[in-house]
Chain A
Amino acid sequence: MKILVPVKRVIDYNVKVRVKADQTGVELANVKMAMNPFDEIAVEQAIRLKEAGTASEIVVVSIGPDQSQETIRTALAMGADRGLHVPASHDTEPLAVAKVLKALVEKEEPGLVILGKQAIDDDSNQTGQMLSALLGWPQATFASGVEIAGDELKVIREVDGGLEHITSKMPAIITVDLRLNEPRYASLPNIMKAKKKPLDQVSLDDLGVDAEQRLTVVKVEEPPAREAGITVASVSELVDKLKNEAKVI
């Protein structure tokens, strides 16, 4: 079985993100970029399935500027087999990404698509679900446990009330949550091999996808600074403040 894993190049999670002076977006100049952490978890899960003998090939795909190839190479250095780069000059919205992935799924015919539940830059949390709808495949989102027995997929999902155990037929879409696994470090032999692994480019035109932006960013601003808290003298004062000042009860 082949597994398709989309990976996104985002600002490294350690970087303190700053809004650009003209409020059109966030500062990207001279900022360290890295693979979306949820996507790392998706790559790790795919590698584990391959190591367990369940998967035979892992194909990673990234949509974005040329530097996205670095993100693909990182996944190859972790242990993925092959990379696909779909060049795109601007931010690709979740629906466009889902359409690209649908076209690639039809071409590559994977048995599973494993995605991060969201990217830490725009936090959209939509691509996996949209891809599932476009393909008409079952989806198991927010996975914190994945098991495959024959052609049945068992996923543990993190939901508000606790953990939900679901089973699904394959092919299917999985989006992964933080606690599914701990991604491995790239190994030295794999780093050295990564460059030799195939990395092909597929254009949006080849895939017949219109990735034009449909959303307009009006303004980006810093969230308001959090104000200091206060100490209340009594429960009645607390209730009063919650009712009349915060207006939450």
Chain B
Amino acid sequence: MQFGLTEEQEMIVDTVRSFVENEIYPLEDQIERLGEVPKEIADEIKSKVLGMGFYAPNFPEEVGGGGLNHLEFALLERELGRGSMALTHFWGRPQNILMACEGEQREKYLLPAVRGERMDALAMTEPDAGSDVRGMKTTARRDGDDWILNGTKHFISGAAHADFVIVFVATGEDMTDKGPKKRITCFLVDRGHPGFEISHGYHSVSHRGYDNMVLSFDDCRLPNSQVLGEVDGGFDVMNTWLYATRITVAAMCVGRARRVLDIATQYCVDRKQFGQQIGKFQGVSFKLADMVTEIDAADWLTLASAWRLDEGLEANREIASAKLYASEMLARVTDEAIQIHGGMGLMADLPLERFWRDARVERIWDGTSEIQRHIISRDMLRRLGG
């Protein structure tokens, strides 16, 4: 067993971390106040990352990407996780699913996304279809060679800045033993396409400036060439390419938790009560011990699940465990960090209340904790015929 990183991996970690510390941290308060990322700032981050050859690091070199494997990409996401998501969004990591692009789609979507010329967003969730993806009501029906899309998607991260979206819609229904089952197809839709609108969604308590958007399709006509993958093959592309995105959530939770722990540890040394550093009180110091232990555990679960993917091993259960544990760990760590800081921890003058708020969504998006537990337990029981 080898737990160490290669020199290249160490350098990736160091580079991303120092970029986040020097280029992202100083902007965070401003973005938190504004609730959005001004275009100049977004463009500057993007152009710096492009200049570093670090844009689209998750894509293979053949299409102009960084060629990182799953483990290296998890390390990169972990370090990016230290910074504000609203800002690190512009360290572009287009959706891997774009690798399913074929023919002209490559020139129009895949390659410009990797070059940072066009940004993408992925749309699955609907007001009535959250964890129950197949319950989606957005449909596409055939009209000659074209498709007509109707329906609404919400909670669409990244759509505020997207030039095109990758959207999953229902394209029919099959009768099965368990009742009707929807067929899903994936489409590529350009911003500004007639019948397609991107509008502001809700005000989220988590990740200010990383807006969630609403997508509306109103008799939106698309040629068949906009289908990504096969017609009715939406679940295939989903399972092939979206399998690994939960690792990025887990990795970001680990990175952010380390940043929070650093702040809390420093405070335990700086803050004095009853004539001594508060870290000298066992009630406080044991919190630090628990925090670092949980962070390490989440870190290893995350890296191990990414490593399994690189090795071509089955990893669905392990990825679910990593996502579940890391997101719940972040909730505990941010909460304890506030407890260590007392009243001051809740004030917006310190970043802790932000980390605490931001942590809340991690247990919900990309599959709730309950869905992850479902995946984990089904994997265990199925082996025994359960």
Contact = CB atoms under 8 A, between A and B. Distances in A.
A190 B11 CA distance: 10
Nearest to B22: A185
Interface residues of B, number: 18
B12 A191 contact: yes
Contacts of A188: 12, 52-54, 57, 66, 68
A15 B365 CA distance: 36
B15 interface: yes
B241 interface: no
Given A77-B15, A185-B15, A188-B68, 18 more contacts: A34-B14, A70-B10, A74-B11, A184-B52, A185-B18, A185-B52, A186-B14, A186-B15, A186-B52, A187-B52, A187-B53, A188-B12, A188-B52, A188-B53, A188-B57, A189-B53, A191-B8, A194-B11
Closest 10 CB pairs of A and B: A187-B53, A188-B53, A189-B53, A191-B11, A187-B52, A188-B54, A188-B66, A186-B15, A185-B15, A185-B52
B53 A190 contact: yes
Interface in B15-47: 15, 18-19
Interface in B51-88: 51-54, 57, 66-68
Interface of B: 7-8, 10-12, 14-15, 18-19, 48, 51-54, 57, 66-68
Contacts of A194: 7-8, 11
B19 A192 contact: no
Contacts of A195: 7-8
A73 interface: yes
Interface of B, helix, strand, loop or mixed by DSSP: helix
Interface residues of A, number: 16
Interface of A, helix, strand, loop or mixed by DSSP: helix
Nearest to A186: B15
B94 to A, nearest CB: 15
A185 B7 contact: no
Q: Which of A34, A188, A195 has the most CB of B within 10 A?
A: A188
B170 to A, nearest CB: 39
A30 to B, nearest CB: 14
Interface in A64-98: 70, 73-74, 77
Contacts of B68: 188
Interface in A27-57: 34
A140 to B, nearest CB: 29
Contact of B54 (A34, A70, A73, A187): A187
A249 to B, nearest CB: 36
Nearest to B6: A195
A117 B11 CA distance: 25
A85 to B, nearest CB: 14
